[in-house]
Amino acid sequence: MDIIIRNANRLQRLTEDILDVQKIESRTLKLNKERFDLNDLILNVVDDNKNQIGDQNRDLKLIQQLDNASPVWVEGGKYRIIQAISNLLGNTLKFAKDGHCISQCEKGSEKQ
């Protein structure tokens, strides 16, 4: 059931990406700006991608490390930033060789 749900979510994201391209070309894409903690967002994306490693039965390790867990407050298109980080991390996982360690480090500081 979990595999079906993940594949349905991937198909939904693909459909949304195709629609986004159409919106970009027609210049009707709207970004929803909101304030969020970038460190928290990155940790959530990394956690989501940890499952992808297990699904592929590969000998990879995904390590997350935050030197300082203080919030980094940003204002922007949260969903688009999630998409970008997910794509970067997903491509890294897709093309990494077995046995290698993929490390994500982010040093945070309080910014208002």
pLDDT of residue 112: 37
Q: Residues 6 or more apart from 111 whose CB is under 8 A from it?
A: 72, 73
Which residue(s) pair with 103 in the sheet?
63
Q: CA 68 to CA 89: how far, in whole Å?
A: 21
Strands 73-77, 101-107: pairing is unpaired
Please tell me whether the overall predicted TM-score, pTM, comes out greater than 0.85 for this model: no
Give the pLDDT score at 99.
Answer: 58
Residues in the chain: 112
Phi, psi at 72, each rounded to 5°:
-115, 100
pLDDT at res. 79: 86
Residue 111 is classified by DSSP as B
Exposure string over 2-12, b if 16+ CB within 10 A, otherwise e: eeeeeeeeeee
pLDDT per residue as tens, the chain (112 positions) = 888 888 898 899 889 889 988 998 999 988 889 999 988 888 888 877 776 666 555 666 666 566 566 788 999 989 889 888 888 887 877 777 765 555 555 454 444 3
Is the CB of residue 2 less than 8 Å from the CB of residue 10? no
pLDDT of residue 34: 93
Q: Token pair 């794509």 is at which residue?
A: 87
